[in-house]
Every structure is written in C-alpha cells, then in structure tokens.
Amino acid sequence: MSAAGLTKNQALVFDKLTTAGGPMSAYQILDNLRDDGFRAPLQVYRALDKLVADGLVHKLESLNAFVACAHPEEKCGSHGLTAFAICNSCGNVFEFHHHGLEHDLEHFLGAKGFKPEKTVVEIRGKCANCA
Amino acid sequence: MSAAGLTKNQALVFDKLTTAGGPMSAYQILDNLRDDGFRAPLQVYRALDKLVADGLVHKLESLNAFVACAHPEEKCGSHGLTAFAICNSCGNVFEFHHHGLEHDLEHFLGAKGFKPEKTVVEIRGKCANCA
DNA sequence: CTCAGATATGTTATATTGTTACAATATTGA
DNA sequence: TCAATATTGTAACAATATAACATATCTGAG
C-alpha cells in the first residue's frame, strides 16, 4: 500500500519495513530488495532519509536499525516525544509517546538554555514475554 | 591520574577521554594513542568495554562516540538515569541525571511488564552558547 | 620459587554501517 | 519541446565494530 507522496524506492523501503513489523538494518533492507532492483546502499539510505524526515520511519540509534512508525496516520511528533522499548531477547520494539517525559526534559533543559531539536529515548531490556 | 583498578590500556584510554573533556570516536582515540603503542581498534574497544561497564565512560549512541563520565567518583547509575544534552553546533556534551524521568519510565514500562536494563537518553539540539 | 591457570595484550583479517562523487534517467511545467 | 528539477543508478570509499587466533603478563597454590 504505502502512504502517498512516496517515490518508488521510498515506497519499496517503507513497505518492506512495514511488512517486517520490526527493526531492520539498512543492509538487511538492501538484501531484501535485490529482486526489486536495489543494488547499492545509497538507494536504501536515500529512501530512509526521506521516510525518517517525514516521520514514517524511525531510526533506532542504539541498534543502528530502522523501524516503521507505529502509527504513520498521525504525524509523529505531534503527540509527545517518541520513545522505544527494545527487548534484548526477542528484538521486539514497542514505540510509545510520553508527554510527561517531554515536559520534564524541556523544563530541565530550558532552564539551562538548551534548545532540543531531536530527542533519542531508547530503553533496552526484557519485554513481558521474555522476562 | 586515572582511577584505581585499571590496566595499562584502560588507563590510557580513560586518561585520553578525560583530558579531551568531550566525546571521541574509538578511532580518534586509537589515533591519539599510536605513540603509546596502540595499533588496532580492538585495543581501544576492549578498554572501552571495561570502562563503560564500570561506569567511567559512557557511549553516546547517536554519535557512535564515547565520553568520560562527568563524575566518576560516584558510581554512575546510583543517582538516576544518565542522560546527555548534545549540542549539534559545538559538539559539547552535558551529562545530567534525572530521577523524575527514571521514575516516569519505570512506572510506564513496569505497567507493560517491561524490565529496563539500560536506558539511552540523548537530546540533540543547541546549547546556550550556540542558540 | 615455579609453573599452571587466568587475565591482558597484540595482530590480522573481516564484517557492518554509512558517505562522497559523479552519471544517467525520469518528471514536470513553462 | 525542452530545460529545470528531482530521482535513481553505480562505483569507490570511509567509518565503526567484531572474530579468530597468537603472545605476553600476572597471580596464586603447591
């Protein structure tokens, strides 16, 4: 399916991530799109850049991997900071949003004159199934 | 100087990071320790593994870099979640701790049965000097 | 002391992640 | 139509990290 306004490569990458339902590295995506004509990492990274900029995909910094947004219909970022709980056992990623967190951080950092642009919150641990 | 209980390589890496006063990539550390006999990345990564495990050094996931703990005297982790404000302009890193944040996250995730093991909080933005 | 186990270090090669530079193609609108 | 723009293709490379194995050093039991 894939959201509107995406180019062919962007749609391919987005579909692959959405179908996977979990995080994939750029090179996993590349390997999975060989049959669709993908040959070089740049094809993946360029698509990811756009998808991340649009909030359709998130980068997991502690994993160097990418995951489809859990609710691409709403503009991600409009409902508080985006955070991820990542299970170290099964690899499942749970995306959530937390206004309190965002307010706390803004208040704390605002007092120091720091202007946040992008906030990374990733909690690594064990999910309910693996605990 | 360097804390007690460190081996030669660990002390060299720790001193280098402490002296730098800011984040360094593993390969920057390697290059800076050539004169001390460092030849291969593994020498750096092994030292970093120990230093990070001991809480003397933190890894900045969004930067793939490492920084000396701002207060190695106290065991890091005993005073709330460790977080970093990272200036996108000057590269300065401000380490801070926030109990509220930690409680919020624990409460929120605990309700979902998720057991946190390590939490990454990195706020990228502009510091007071660069804003 | 001494020597065996454990720890730390050294070295080479390789895997993984990400970017630069440039060429070709496709799209769009005046 | 055709020129400007956006997108895609390709090759080479840079940066980050680990695997596998060899050597050296340290430490404690005998």
Cβ contact, residue pair A101, B98, below 8 Å: no
- Quote the domain boundaries for residue A72: 3-125
Residues of B in contact with A116 (CB under 8 A): 85, 123-125
Asked whether residue B37 is domain-assigned, the answer is yes
Give the pLDDT score at B71: 83
Give the pTM: 0.93
Query: Beta strand B81-87 with B115-126: parallel, antiparallel or unpaired?
Result: parallel
Q: Which nucleotides of D are covered by protein (CB under 7 A)?
A: 7-12, 15-20
Within a domain: B130:
no
pLDDT string in tens for chain B (131-residue length)? 445 689 999 999 999 999 999 999 999 999 999 999 999 999 999 999 999 999 999 999 999 999 999 987 666 655 568 999 999 999 999 999 988 889 999 999 999 999 999 999 999 999 999 98
Structurally, chain A folds into a number of domains equal to 1
The distance (Å) linking the CA of A65 with the C1' of D20 is 27
CA distances for A35 relative to A28, A57, B6, angstroms:
13, 22, 51
- Arithmetic mean of pLDDT, A68-72: 87
How many Cβ pairs closer than 8 A exist between chain A and B?
A: 110
Nucleotide of closest approach to B12 (CA, C1'):
C9
Is B108 or A1 the better-scoring residue by pLDDT? B108
Q: Check CB contact under 8 Å for B120 and A122.
A: yes
Q: Is B120–A124 a contact, with Cβ atoms under 8 angstroms apart?
A: yes
Confirm whether B77 is domain-assigned: yes
Residue pair B71/B63 in contact (Cβ under 8 Å)? The answer is: no
CATH no. for residue A54? Answer: 1.10.10.10
Helix axes A99-110, B99-110, angle to 10 degrees: 170
Q: How far is the CA of B26 from the C1' of C25 (A)?
A: 41
Is position A130 within any domain? no
Q: Is residue A131 part of a domain?
A: no
Q: CA of A45 and C1' of C20: distance in angstroms?
A: 13
Please state, in angstroms and rounded to a whole number, the distance separating the CA atoms of residues B19 and A80: 37
Interface mutation vs chain B, best among A121, A126, A127, A129, most B CBs within 10 Å: A121
Question: Looking at chain A, how many residues does it have?
Answer: 131
Chain B residues within 8 angstroms (CB to CB) of chain A: 61-62, 85, 87-88, 94, 96, 98, 100-101, 104-105, 108-109, 112-128, 131
Residue A87 — very low, low, confident or very high, per pLDDT cuts 50/70/90? very high
**Is B131 a member of any domain?**
no
By C-alpha distance, which of B117, B76, B73 is closest to B95? B76
Question: Does the CB of A98 sit below 7 A from strand D?
Answer: no
Torsion, CA B101, CA B102, CA B106, CA B107, rounded to 10: -40
